[in-house]
Chain A
Amino acid sequence: MSGTQILIVDDERIMRDSLAGWLIRDGHAVETAVSGEEALEIIKKKRFDILLVDIRMEGISGLEVLRQVTESDPDVAVIMITAYGSISTAIEAMKNGARDYLLKPFDPEELGVLIEKIVDEQARSRETLFLKEAYEERTRFESMIGQSRSMQSVFDFIRDIAPSEATILITGETGTGKGLAAKAIHSQSPRCDGPFVVVNCGAIPEHLMESELFGHQKGAFTDAKETKKGRLELAHGGTLFLDEIGEIGMRMQIDLLRVLEDRVFYRVGGTQPIEADFRVITATNRDLEEAIAKEAFREDLFYRLNVISFAMPPLRERKEDIPLLVEHFLHRFSRETNRPVDGISREALDEMMLYDWPGNVRELQNAVERAVVVGKKRKIQPEDLPFCLAPAGLPTGSALKDVEKAHIARVLNENQWNVARTARILEIDRSTLYTKIRKYNLEPPE
């Protein structure tokens, strides 16, 4: 959402500040470090797209920062900052994986061109990953299940609001079934015969978002070889469900607001207005009011989206539904996989009731699916449950990176390879996750 992440490492304050100021005005998210030591600390906690590193610093040198960074994350573009006296070091740095070097003071044109080129390349590699992801995206619609009081009131509420045309905002943690609720609203609404079009705002790279949503006219830009309908157009007569709405960038927020206000939109490069004939349902697990306070989300768009809102309860607040959910998933997966599992042991169910389910119903569903596949008995046992064996899941001699790889793969699979959501669960940012996916060569199943 915040564009390219750049870290400046320079021990000279005036250089650091003037470069940071320029890059921030250019629209990037910038952090600074006063030394190589500090830079390496910052990098441990956060991923950057571009590093600008002064070659000559007290303590850990620029070359050493370069070495450590490229070792842990080869996709970071490291640009060395040099003075006249240290050009030979800069050339050595290029041999060691630096992307380029700039001579102090930089020509603004050179800096601008270099940054733009790197940003473009990184966007393109993200695009490749997204297209692959979208292709393999698994969609499985379910009915919502729950006898708990909190779920019953969700059902009642949905019944009440479904017939209207009002825009709805569904909040709730990841995996609580916000998408299912949206689908339920659609299927109980007068638009139920129309399409239900899902847009996962967290999964679409920002530069593809506009054409993905609005479509484009042939020739609108270099890659637009054919006219393409966007998802808004595909939702004609039905419901448009914008999942993870908190992830969209400022420009897209302006575009969406305009569509909701004018009820018409245009394809990219198109001149004919297209009627916006769809009901909008959005969902988020972010605190949008907090995002508004930070000027990251538009207040006027929020009021447009938040005409009616309700929250999906987390699973840990409706644990009485767990046996019912387990039974449901058990039947389904034993049928799908042809495995003779027909129940759950008392002990395994106890473990499930004790567990906190941070990934909510989706995590439960994945746990049951896995148990059906790996279980050796007719009834699911505690050792079949991933959260019961997490510490013993890998041999104790495992390298940290093997543990990291396995953990990331697991969380990705539990979340159907939804990168934004996975990143949030792992408490790292999306670009870090993308890098790790590439680093460990992770791929979606099937």
Chain B
Amino acid sequence: MDKTASFEDAADLGGRSSAGADAILVSPIGPIDSVLSEAVCREVQRIFGARVRQEPLLSSVEFALDLERRQYHSTRILEHLAKRVPPSTLKIIGIVSVDLFIPILTHVYGEAQLGGIAAVVSTFRLLEPLGPVKAKADLASRLGKEAAHELGHTFKLRHCPNPTCIMHYCRSLRDVDMKSLKLCPYCRVLLEDEKKRLAKQKLRQPQ
């Protein structure tokens, strides 16, 4: 983690948007509790060691509504987010509260462009069996994990067999609760590789 110290110094949730390295944008869409979006910012900052900024870009995801399924097509949300990224954005993750799907599956917790720029995650399916008391803290923890997981895909990470790793594919909420808030050593190495590659690429083609 030493290598990312310079990133961490520059990290603060909010300001200094244009200075220094590219930032990961956390973008709530629609009514998202700020406790949740801030939790996502925190996890993303910690796991990816990049500057993180919160900024709403879309007011709703109604354009992605499928009338027959009454669910929202996550791939279309990714396309919209990708089109709207402001300059100096490393990656963007949207947070929504609606039920997401991709056409072949009944539902997804989120989706991401593998090696691309955009990811999206939803609170909808993460809520289910939570009791009222701990609800918000547990939901924040689940959302943080799934948001980091989807962002991991944008850094070319694929699913990991290690059940405690953030990149493990969770079939159920039990799996989500079981995994830690960390990347396993392999995925960490692969993430660092990709970050280095992106940094090199940026040096080669200054915007």
Contacts and interface: CB of A to CB of B under 8 A. Distances in A.
Given A25-B159, A26-B169, A18 B105 contact: yes
B134 to A, nearest CB: 24
Nearest to A299: B193
Contact of B153 (A15, A25, A111, A298): A25
B171 A22 contact: no
Interface string A90-121: 00000000000000111111011100000000
Nearest to B112: A25
Contacts of B35: none
A442 interface: no
Contacts of B172: 109
Interface string B107-119: 1100110100000
Interface residues of A, number: 23
Contacts of A18: 75, 102-105
Contacts of B107: 108
B105 A111 contact: yes
A22 B105 contact: yes
B158 A108 contact: no
Contact of B158 (A25, A104, A105, A111): A25
Interface string A4-26: 00000000001100110110111
B105 A26 contact: no
A27 B158 contact: yes
B171 A113 contact: yes
B183 to A, nearest CB: 13
A108 B105 contact: yes
Interface of A is mostly: helix
Contact residues on B (Cβ < 8 Å of other chain), bracket: 20 to 34
Contact of B114 (A25, A108, A111): A25
Given A21-B114, A24-B114, A25-B158, A15 B169 contact: no
Contacts, number: 58
Given A26-B158, A26-B159, A108 B108 contact: yes
Contact of B103 (A15, A24, A27): A15
Nearest to B153: A25
Contacts of B108: 108
B102 A22 contact: yes
A105 B105 contact: yes
A403 interface: no
Contacts of A15: 103-104
Contacts of A254: 185-186, 189-190
Contact of A107 (B106, B186, B189): B106
Contacts of B105: 18, 22, 105-108, 111
Interface in A7-51: 14-15, 18-19, 21-22, 24-27
Most chain B CB neighbours (cut-off 10 Å) among A18, A111, A298: A18
A213 to B, nearest CB: 15
B101 interface: yes
Interface string A232-261: 000000000000000000110010000000
Contacts of A24: 114, 158
Contacts of A104: 104
- Sorted nearest first, the 5 A-B pairs with minimum C-beta distance are A18-B102, A27-B158, A109-B171, A19-B104, A18-B104
